[in-house]
Structure 1
Amino acid sequence: MLELSILGFLAEQPLHGYELKERIKALSGHVRPVSDGALYPAITRLTKAGLLDQRTEPGASAAPRRILSLTEEGRAELLERLRHPKPVEISDQVRFNTVLSFLRHLPDRREQAAVLRRRLEFLDAPSSFFYRDGEPVRAEEAGDLFRQGMLRVARATGAAERAWLTEAIEVLDPADGAQSN
């Protein structure tokens, strides 16, 4: 997700490493902090792969700054990653939020809707944090105030997300939304 965040933010504008780190930290740092030890090697990998370009500009104080920008190959890679997120990028809430943050860069609304449909299908599958005899445990069956709370909050959050996804898919691909209702 770090590489997707780098590509996504640089699709919006060229940035130097510190600015890029601050944007990534704002997006997911409270859940998954980004360290220099992860960010700069990722930037190096993407640059060596021809997905990023670097140029040096005079710094605001004394030290020169390396400005990163997305190459055409980098833009194509970003679009490919957005079109075809990995299963974990659909199932994991933080990773899906990263995909969602940059999904507007996909130019085809039907492709955007297809990604949202995958998330909706995932959310519609029965699941729980807890299982009994191979079946998901519902909040009413948890038998524990705290687990009950987890399950009730997850149910409410999931219902709100499913409602938004359904509305967004209808906006992005009205003909398909009418067919699936």
Structure 2
Amino acid sequence: MLELSILGFLAEGPLHGYELKERIKALTGHVRPVSDGALYPAISRLVAAGRLDQRTEEGTGAAPRRVLSLTDAGRADLLQRLRAPKPVEISDQVRFNTVLAFLRHLPDPREQAAVLRRRLDFLRTPTSFFYDDGSPVRAEDTGDLFRRGVLRVARATTAAEVAWLTEAVAELER
């Protein structure tokens, strides 16, 4: 997801490493913080793979800084990652939000809708955080106040997301 975030933000224009880190941090927040020890090796991998260009620019009152930009190969990689997210990128909320943050870069609304339909299919599959003898536990069936809270909040969040996804798919398919 870090590489997707790098490619996605650089699709919007060149950035230096610190700006890129701040944008990624704003997207993922405290849930999945990005460290320099993860960011800069990922940038180096993408540069080595020809996905990013980097140039050195004079810093304003500081040391020179690297400015990163997306190459044609990087844009193609971004589009492929958006067209075909991995299953975990559909099922994990934070990862899906990262895909969603950059989905506008896919030029074909039908491809965008296909990704949203995958998330809808996932959300419509019965599941729970808790199971009793292999069966999902519903909020109404637990005597545990706190688990009931987890389940009710999850249900409400899922309902809101399903409603938005349904609207978005209909709009994209018009």
Settle same-fold status: TM greater than 0.5. Answer: yes
- Find out whether 1:141 has 2:141 as its counterpart: yes
- Find out whether 1:42 has 2:5 as its counterpart: no
Letter in structure 1 aligned against 2:7: L
Shift of 1:29: 2.6
Work out the CA distance in 2 between the residues paired with 1:3 and 1:90.
16
Match for residue 116 of structure 2?
A: 116
Shift of 1:44: 0.2
- Find out whether 1:87 has 2:96 as its counterpart: no
Unaligned runs of 5+ in 2: none
Work out the CA distance in 1 between the residues paired with 2:110 and 2:11.
21
Query: What is the CA deviation profile of residues 37-75 of structure 1, one whole-angstrom value per residue up to 9, with x for unaligned ones?
Result: 000000000000000000111111131111000000000
Q: How many pairs were matched up?
A: 174
Query: What is the CA deviation profile of residues 66-125 of structure 1, one whole-angstrom value per residue up to 9, with x for unaligned ones?
Result: 100000000000000000000000000000000000000000000000000000000000
Letter in structure 2 aligned against 1:13: G
Alignment of 1:142-181 (within 5 A): 142-174=142-174
Work out the CA distance in 2 between the residues paired with 1:133 and 1:117.
31
Match for residue 73 of structure 2?
A: 73
Q: Secondary structure at the match of 2:56?
A: strand
Taking structure 1 as the reference length, the TM-score comes to: 0.95
Match for residue 132 of structure 2?
A: 132
Q: Secondary structure at the match of 1:68?
A: strand
Work out the CA distance in 2 between the residues paired with 1:102 and 1:26.
14
Q: Secondary structure at the match of 2:66?
A: strand
Query: What is the CA deviation profile of residues 143-176 of structure 1, one whole-angstrom value per residue up to 9, with x for unaligned ones?
Result: 10000000000000000000000000000013xx
Work out the CA distance in 2 between the residues paired with 1:28 and 1:112.
21
Shift of 1:132: 1.0
Alignment of 1:2-13 (within 5 A): 2-13=2-13
Shift of 1:15: 0.2
Taking structure 2 as the reference length, the TM-score comes to: 0.99
Give the percent of matched residue pairs that are identical in Structure 1 and Structure 2: 80
Which of structure 1's runs of 4+ aligned residues deviate more than 4 A? Answer: none
Shift of 1:30: 1.3
Match for residue 58 of structure 1?
A: 58
